[in-house]
Amino acid sequence: MLLAAAFAAVTPAQTSLTTIQDTLFKADGTRFTGAITIQWNTFDATNLGTVVQQSQVMNVVNGNLMVQLVPNAGAAAPANTYTVQYQSDGNQQFTESWTVPASALPLTVAQVRTGTVISSNLAPGSQTSITESAVVGLAADLSQRPVKGPAFGAGSVAVINKNGQIDTAVGAVGNCVRVDGTTAPCGGLVPQFFDAETPAGLIDGSNATFTLAHAPSGSSLMLFRNGIDMKDGLDYSLNGNTIQFVSAAIPTPGATLMASYRIDPPGSNSGSTSSTGPQLQNLPSAQVLCSANGQTSAANVWQSLGSCDVPAAGMNPGDRIEIRFSFAHTNTASGFDIAVNWGATPILTRHGGAQDSFFVGQADVAIGPSGAEVSAQSWGTVLNFLPGIQNIPSASGAKIDFQGQLSAAGPDTLALQNFTIIRYPAN
């Protein structure tokens, strides 16, 4: 009997052991044959006293299990669970924990397995909450994980800002994310190559001017006369798509000219020009960060009626953020107040009168290396046009928040009809 050696001097009436009796099966329906090892740490049994740390191995033949244990449910010492390991076919199969209550009737394994409710008249096992700070190393390990940044959002690609926080990549649907967290249309233009082109021009021994279909990029032109490579600056000069031979190298009648070259796509900054003029630079396109309807308020307390998170990746020096918004005011019993905040900094605040049915405005934020310059303007149905300009500190991401309140609660309402935030990336 388990614990027989430990409790040899104690009578059965004193120990009040609980019997666990069950038939164990394998998943295929056959009976389990093997051994179980029951281990326990020192604990103070309520009906016995101190039970010292020990273990016991029991054989289970043809699925028959019967063991008697000191009840450990509600034990008042460091540990109150039995650890039970199942071995079969020379391998350890699995491990579980038992919490054994005092019971005059035999209990099954399912009734003592930790987390199982045994019966309504039996005391459950005690539980102790452990704080994160009490677990050695847990707080330090948790601090190594990236946390949400000020521009975190769901349903988009995550990027890491300069503070090691998780922000949301900003860009149009279908854009690709660059290594620095910015976005741009996927793919791109590639150079075009032209091989074995015959320059246009009369080969008569006196004509020195020939033209190509396109203006070659940089020094990519390879020009051959009768298979001999001609040298730019020595045998000819190139201006756009025009070849001008020197007098000593003018092709003679019957000569063969062949040219191979490339032209770079617009925006490659190769410095080349076309026959129709300089190539235009492929500028990055504007990005709509947010565009939505806001909320409606009938209260005379400040409320956020709409907001948009601008991540750190969308606030690079040279970027420009455009903010546009429109409010609607119903009834004429009360005036209202409007505030547009860039993070913790108000960039526009105004008071509208009771007769102002609509209030609109816009702001332009120019991101610099150490801060931003904001120019804002607003007007209402009656409210006069008012421009303003100010400097605001730089930030690693910012929340643009549209707030409003009525001068008196009801029956008037104040609604953020629409707001749009557009980013113009730097080159």
Q: What is the pLDDT of residues 138-184, one digit of tens each?
A: 878 887 788 888 778 777 788 888 778 888 888 777 778 887 778 77
Q: Are 157 and 173 in contact (CB under 8 A)?
A: no
Residue 226 shares a structural domain with residue 307 = no
Does 117 reside within a domain? Answer: no
Rama region for 52: left / alpha / beta (φ>0; ψ in -120 to 50; rest): beta
Going by C-alpha positions, the residue among 64, 54, 4, 56 that lies closest to residue 34 is 64
Residue 201 shares a structural domain with residue 314 = no
* DSSP H helices in 62-137: 109-112
Residue 310 shares a structural domain with residue 249 = no
Does 399 reside within a domain? Answer: yes
CATH code, domain with 340: 2.60.120
Q: How many CB atoms lie within 10 A of CB 313?
A: 27
The last residue of one of the domains, among 227, 253, 278, is 278
Q: Which pLDDT belongs to residue 183?
A: 79
Name the pairing type of β-strands 413-424 and 296-297.
antiparallel
Q: Is 423 exposed, middle or buried (0-12, 13-18, 19+ CB in 10 A)?
A: buried
Regions of the chain where pLDDT drops below 70 = 1-15, 76-79, 115-129, 187-190, 266-285, 395, 427
Q: Which pLDDT belongs to residue 8?
A: 39
Residue 339 shares a structural domain with residue 389 = yes
Token pair 């027989």 in the structure block, residue: 4
Residue 196 shares a structural domain with residue 291 = no
The last residue of one of the domains, among 227, 251, 278, is 278
Residue 291 shares a structural domain with residue 420 = yes
Residue 71 shares a structural domain with residue 19 = yes
| DSSP code string of 337-370 | EEEEEETTEEEEEEEE-TT--EEEEEEEEEE-SS
Angle, alpha carbons 95-96-99 (nearest 5°)? 150
Residue 234 shares a structural domain with residue 309 = no
Diameter over CA atoms, the chain: 130
Q: What is the pLDDT of residues 238-277, one digit of tens each?
A: 999 999 999 989 999 999 999 999 988 765 554 444 444 4
Does 359 reside within a domain? Answer: yes
CATH code, domain with 44: 2.60.40
Q: Which pLDDT belongs to residue 128?
A: 62
Does 41 reside within a domain? Answer: yes
- For the record, the structure tokens of 170 come out as 């900003």
**142 alpha carbon, distance to own chain's centre:** 18
200-204 long-range CB contacts below 8 Å, 24 or more apart? 201/243, 201/257, 203/251, 203/252, 203/253, 203/254, 203/255, 203/257, 204/253
| Tally of domains within the chain | 3
Phi/psi of residue 312, nearest 5 degrees: -60, -35
Residue 304 shares a structural domain with residue 379 = yes
Residue 264 shares a structural domain with residue 304 = no
Contacts of 243 (CB under 8 A, 6+ apart): 199, 201, 209, 210, 211, 212, 223, 236, 237, 259
Domain span at residue 20? 12-112
The last residue of one of the domains, among 228, 246, 278, is 278
Entry pTM: 0.42
Q: How far is CA 68 from CA 103, 106, 189, in A?
A: 11, 9, 80
- Going 228 to 232 to 235 to 239, the CA torsion angle's sign is positive
Does 184 reside within a domain? Answer: no
Q: How many CB atoms lie within 10 A of CB 37?
A: 15
Residue 241 shares a structural domain with residue 315 = no
Residue 31 shares a structural domain with residue 91 = yes
Three-state secondary-structure class, residue 165: coil
Q: Which pLDDT belongs to residue 386?
A: 93
Does 140 reside within a domain? Answer: no
Three-state secondary-structure class, residue 199: coil
Phi/psi of residue 123, nearest 5 degrees: -75, 130
Does 411 reside within a domain? Answer: yes
Strands of 131-281, DSSP E: 158-160, 166-168, 175-177, 183-185, 192-197, 209-211, 222-225, 228-230, 236-239, 242-245, 257-263, 273-274, 277-278
Residues, the chain: 427
